[in-house]
Amino acid sequence: MTSVGADLSRSDGPAKVAGAARYAGDFAAPRMAYAVMVQSTIAHGRIVRIDTARAGAAPGVVLVMTHANAPKLAQDPMHAEPPSSRAVSLLQDDAVRYNGQPIALVVAESLEQAQAAARLLHVEYAAEDAALDFAAAKSGAYTPKELAHGEPDASWGTADAALEGAAVRHQATYTTPMEVHNPLEPHATLAVWNGDELTLHDATQGVAGVRKTLAKKLGIAPEKIHVLSPYIGGGFGCKGSAWSHVALAAMAAKQARRPVKLVLERTQMFGPVGYRPPTEQTVALGAARDGKLVAIKHDVVSSTSTFEDWTESSAVLTRMMYACPNVSTTHKLIKLNLGTPTFQRAPGEATGSFALECALDELALKAGLDPLELRLRNYADSDPESGKAFSSKKLRECYARAAERFGWSKRNGQPRAQRDGRWLIGWGMATATYPANRQPASARLVLKPDGTALVQCCTQDIGTGTYTIMAQVAADALGIDAERVRVEIGDSAFPEAPVSGGSMTAATVTPAVLAAARAVRDKLVALAVNDDKSPLHQSSADAVELRDGWLRLRGETARGEPIPAVLARAGGKPLEATEEAKPDDAVKAKYATHSWGAVFAEVAVDPDFGEVRVRRVVACYSVGRLLNAKTARSQLLGGIVWGVGMALTEQAHVDRVSGRVLNANLAQYHVPVNADIGELDVTFVPEDDTTFNPLGARGIGEIGITGVPAAIANAVYHATGQRIRDLPITPDKLIGATSA
């Protein structure tokens, strides 16, 4: 193996930098028209009338589609089959369920004409009372049927009794706000009909899911739909489902009898395409004098829409993080008149690790223990819930390595003890974790007569480096350079693969690539050893190795020939294979599979103004084998940056009267910029989790955000003596309280 693990730059980088990579919104088609999505301006009620006369007569307008004239669909759009098929608004009735719900599409010759005409729509509503207040809706909290992963409630032992009798106790409620994904590339769909066949250029994390969803919603055969998504400008979960605009574009294109492009505006990204819901999490911890946990309770309430259940599974990680004999975890939902929330980078773990890891920090203080020592005393060597062994866990090594690089041993445990000039300096830490997921996937590999290879698979690269690692894996299996492997993905016509979500793509797709490459390799070697003109004739196939584009006899490097020579004599035709790779059920039954990390943060807090600067984050991860050291590190860096935003700045504010997101733009919804990010030190513990998959790799897309908000909140406490349990930690929550 030479390519796998190397710090290769991403193969799609040059095309992206040069502007040659075409994203969904960059595509065009002959006679293409432009659509604008019109949204409701009330949070709940009915549409009494939409006057389309002026909009319809405006220059360039091709179609005004409302519930009055939209095609009637085979399936009720409210029928949801998560994750890809969601309850969506496809203009089938007059109901308004949230502010910002799509209620019409205006299609025109140009984007500007469509935008101008959209403003001429006159909508009359019959408004009804809307549920918009989280606190007020809490009396109606209910237990959802299921979570994306796991049961809503799980418990063992007797948490209440154990808590009662615990020598050291801590209980508090932690809250996190609505957060919005905000990938730089907005959602975008170009729908092109050719007879009864539909081609969609869609900004999606799952081309197969979009195809399946559209087939059902529109009532056509999946084979008639072709979905393309070669490049995605960030997904983070919001592009994991086919939201309303995808089907609406297809419906409008059908009705207008011409291609229709619909690109959402930034403002439209706040509501109808998912978000991370607000959570209220109560954590109770009980420990013996020595800090050993005797009880953990974690009760979560998050909000969903009035028409679909989606639960932020914040307490799921609490079931496996620490060894504890008495654990109780629950999830409840409340319904609000908002769009449905969805997966957002480390859904559950990002918010849950904030609550749990802050609570541990608070417990450590009460127990008089160093926060790291408390975690070590409660280290889980096996999965506390199932008793299963972990496929591989090197969290101890992560703690040690990150602590050492950070200089944690020099920490004075006393809050407000460290200063740098007028700034209060604080150090905090937390544990990071995310499940290692894997699903079946297939890949096709073609070895061409010139010795280059082509890999095809209907997976997606959402900016993580999927193109590059697929080439690396194929290259090693064939003994050629990664630059000689062309990877084609993001096309529903290719062999099936799941959504690029749940941090599962690397571990899901590369085993399929490896299997296909090995199958082709075997065919190639068979050709050589069976060919009397080959120098390898009558050699044992097992004795032949592929390296530097040559087939050679192992240990006898003089005997061999280049790949093209073998193929040329065999008729100059390519060799190909399509293989499926699946997770092993026996492994699943025996092992729990998770990734781990230790995060240490240093903050500086202005004692007068409450401004928090994150000076450095030092993190070390146990994520299996790295398939590409560079893209892997980038994933973790990006996750940590998002963690800084989650800790300090990100929050969507919903107006409690109108139900509208008040800061639905990137000027007022604050994500970190370069100036907000200090030194980031990311390292990995060497690891090879071949129990989990043949490449030894676990997913890394999401773990980076986890633990970071807690590490920062804990550092803020250490700096100021102020415990902020409500994200984001904005200056208003610290101001005044910080002055000595």
Contacts to ligand MOS by CB under 6 A: 205, 235-237, 240, 343-345, 347, 501-502
CA–CA separation, 596 and 576 (whole Å): 38
CA–CA separation, 477 and 25 (whole Å): 36
CB nearer to ligand MOS: pick between 205 and 330: 205
CB nearer to ligand MOS: pick between 305 and 503: 503
CB nearer to ligand MOS: pick between 418 and 706: 706
CA–CA separation, 218 and 272 (whole Å): 19
CB nearer to ligand MOS: pick between 639 and 696: 639
Rounded least distance, CB 240 to ligand MOS, Å? 5
Rounded least distance, CB 83 to ligand MOS, Å? 8
Reported as type and span, the H/E element at residue 596 is: strand 594-605
Rounded least distance, CB 504 to ligand MOS, Å? 8
Rounded least distance, CB 273 to ligand MOS, Å? 13
CB nearer to ligand MOS: pick between 209 and 672: 209
**Residue from 243, 357, 337, 334 nearest 280 by CA:** 334
Rounded least distance, CB 237 to ligand MOS, Å? 3
Rounded least distance, CB 272 to ligand MOS, Å? 17
CB nearer to ligand MOS: pick between 202 and 476: 202
**Residue from 195, 225, 196 nearest 213 by CA:** 225
Burial class (CB in 10 A: 0-12, 13-18, 19+), 703: buried
Catalytic residue among 185, 280, 349, 702: 702
Residue nearest to ligand MOS (CB): 237
Rounded least distance, CB 499 to ligand MOS, Å? 8
CB nearer to ligand MOS: pick between 310 and 427: 310
CA-based R_g, the chain, Å: 27
Rounded least distance, CB 114 to ligand MOS, Å? 30
What is the residue whose two structure tokens read 């030194």?
679
What beta strand segments (E) does 232-325 contain? 260-263, 279-287, 293-304
Burial class (CB in 10 A: 0-12, 13-18, 19+), 387: exposed
CB nearer to ligand MOS: pick between 205 and 378: 205
Rounded least distance, CB 560 to ligand MOS, Å? 45
CB nearer to ligand MOS: pick between 65 and 350: 350
Edge-first strand order for the sheet with 556-562 is: 544-547, 550-553, 556-562
**Residue from 310, 309, 286 nearest 296 by CA:** 286
Residue 473 sits at φ, ψ, to 5 deg, of: -65, -45
- SS3 helix, strand, coil % of the chain, rounded to 5? 30, 25, 45
CB nearer to ligand MOS: pick between 345 and 615: 345
Residue 436 sits at φ, ψ, to 5 deg, of: -95, 115
CA–CA separation, 444 and 448 (whole Å): 13
Q: Which residues contact 44 (CB under 8 A, 6 or more apart)?
A: 96, 97, 98, 127, 128, 129, 130, 131, 306, 337, 659
What's the angle, vertex CA 353, arms to CA 351 and CA 357, rounded to 5? 135
Is there a cis peptide before residue 574, judged by omega within 30 degrees of 0?
Answer: no
Reported as type and span, the H/E element at residue 331 is: strand 327-335
- Whether 265 is catalytic is no
CA–CA separation, 360 and 450 (whole Å): 59
Cβ atoms of 625 and 5 closer than 8 Å: yes
Rounded least distance, CB 310 to ligand MOS, Å? 12
SS3 per residue for 600-669: EEEEEECCCCCCEEEEEEEEEEECECCCEHHHHHHHHHHHHHHHHHHHHCCCCCECCCCCCECCCCCCCC
- Enumerate the active-site residues: 702
